[in-house]
Amino acid sequence: MSSTPESSSKHFLPLALVTTLFCCSGLTHNLLPVLIPKLKAACEVSHTESMYVDVAQWTAYFVMAFPAALIMRRFGYRAGIIAGLLLAACGFLLFIPAAHAAVFSQFLLAFFISAAGLVFLETAANPYISVLGDPARAPFRLNVAQSFYGLAAVISSLWIAKVIIKPENEASLLGLLPADKQPEVASKLAALPAHEHVDFLLEQIKILAPAAHHQHLLDQALMVIPPYLCIACGMILLAVVFCLIKLPEIKGPEAEANSSFKLFSHPLLVWGIAAQFFYVGAQVGVDATFLSYTRQMTGLSLYDATTYLGLILGCFFLGRVAGTSLMAKLSPSGILGGYALICGSLLACCALIPANAAATQTSVAIPSWLHLGDHLVFTSHPAPYLVMAVKFFMSIMYPTIFSLAIRGLGHHTKTASSLLVMSIVGGAFLPLGMGQIADKCGGHFQPGYWLLCACMLPILVFACVAHGHDRKMTLKSTVEA
């Protein structure tokens, strides 16, 4: 398909509308790191059990990816996008009864249904952007579109997260205790480091005032309702927009799609599925454990640590922009391989550096109009900054793996895309493994970073395979010329 100015202008509106789907995914996926510790506390579950948030979210990708591809093959991309938006909205609306009941299993059901809707959106958006335009520019085009995922992630983690996690007021928590017990608890509190105060108070409330403790947990669960209600309404409105516009349906060789598909006859796709499985597992593992890891390494409060969650996702966005610029000049497979090596080294550093809960903290006052609280707290400990660097270099991996793996598959593109989306189930297994490691290591997530480091190896192998494929195609073109 030509990439002339006329064709680019013709495709601008559909590409812009489909790009909004990445914003939807960015807003919702990047609230998970906030919700995991939030629901762990509100529903009183273990580290391993709290990771079932990710299991519910990413298992939906495995279960629903192929049905989504079949539906879109039958009814087209537009119908799949509308169905996905409405299904995701229904899942987010289920957060309302789940929060009122504060029952963990109800939250998991809501996560699964909303993620099932997001599967439709990603199964449609990734191949649609890849094939709507010049095939040689597909990695660049997909990275540009997914840059908006990164922008939405920053908004989600810096602003929406602050709605869900509000700073615990120690005086208010102390007031929930029986009056005769407050002086005794206050004296014990004075002997503890500041970062342990809230957890100690919550444990004392649980023991000494069970009814007040239950109501506090319920109040915490109810904080998830406002942002998810707004997101659900936004998705319904977006579904209406897609009902009113007409997307160009990608036909081409799709009309011939009766031939059989043999997965292992496409080694680049096979390695792409493996790379995507481990990449998504590593990315979700970093995001899911970041707040707990940062608190354990630095002594920051949960509320203050959310600032760093916004910063690591800001680095993810900047990395996507920088990587997209590099991709216009350098080989995508070469960039992917280099980034995999860097990420592996950084994750090893995260697993090796010693914790220091007494690390120097600097409080910075901020304007009230930013709605980020009255201050931000920064630590001198290197842990969160290492993770920021990891996210920067992870940024281009998903779209680059996706676009390289489906390259040249013609009428098999939708089937291959569904398999790549199914491989996102890695996001269910790796965080669960990290939760089990944490429960066996006294609640510490740092040892699990070795598992994330190992995930970079399959990505490096895929990059080498893709680079070899590129050289083979270049040589073939030279010989034919």
Asked if 341 and 454 sit in the same domain, the reply is: yes
Domain assignment of residue 253, yes or no: no
Same domain for 182 and 138? no
- What pLDDT, on a 0 to 100 scale, did the predictor assign at position 475? 60
Instruction: Give the per-residue pLDDT at 1.
Output: 40
C-alpha of 309 from chain center: 12
* CA distance linking residue 417 with residue 137, whole number of Å: 18
On whether both 313 and 424 belong to a single domain, the answer is: yes
* HSE-up of residue 396 (Cα within 13 Å, Cβ side): 31
Asked if 218 and 228 sit in the same domain, the reply is: no
Q: Do 363 and 393 belong together in one domain?
A: yes
**Is 449 domain-assigned?**
yes
In a domain, 252, yes or no: no
**Helices 397-405 and 138-155: angle between axes, nearest 10 degrees:** 150
**What does the angle CA 400 – CA 406 – CA 410 come to, to the nearest 5 degrees?**
145
* Statement to judge: residues 285 and 407 lie in one domain: yes
Residue 364 lies in a domain: yes
* pLDDT score for 182: 82
Same domain, 272 and 218: no
In a shared domain, residues 463 and 346: yes
Q: Residue 10: inside a domain, yes or no?
A: yes
- Asked whether residue 23 falls in the same domain as residue 97, the answer is yes
Q: Which two tokens stand for residue 179?
A: 């009056």
Answer whether residue 237 is part of any domain: yes
pLDDT at 220: 80
- For residue 75, the domain's CATH number is 1.20.1250.20
Angle, CA of 44, 48 and 51, to the nearest 5°: 90
Q: How many domains does the chain have?
A: 2
Residue at 98 is within a domain = yes
251 within domain boundaries: no
In order along the chain (481 residues), what is the average pLDDT of each group of 10 residues? 45 79 82 80 82 86 81 82 93 92 90 91 77 70 75 76 70 78 81 71 79 81 87 92 78 47 74 93 90 88 79 83 82 91 96 88 73 73 94 90 82 75 84 87 90 95 86 60 52
What is the pLDDT at residue 5? 40
Q: CA-to-CA distance for 304 and 294, rounded, in angstroms?
A: 10
| Domain around 197 | 168-222
Last residue of a domain, one of 222, 254, 286: 222
Q: Which residue has the tokens 């273990």?
A: 46
- 179 and 101 inside one domain: no
Verify that 326 and 353 share a domain, yes or no: yes
How far apart are alpha carbons 175 and 194 in whole angstroms?
A: 18
Does 162 lie in the same domain as 300? yes
The residue behind tokens 């995701």 is 88
- Report the C-alpha gap between 145 and 133 in whole angstroms: 13
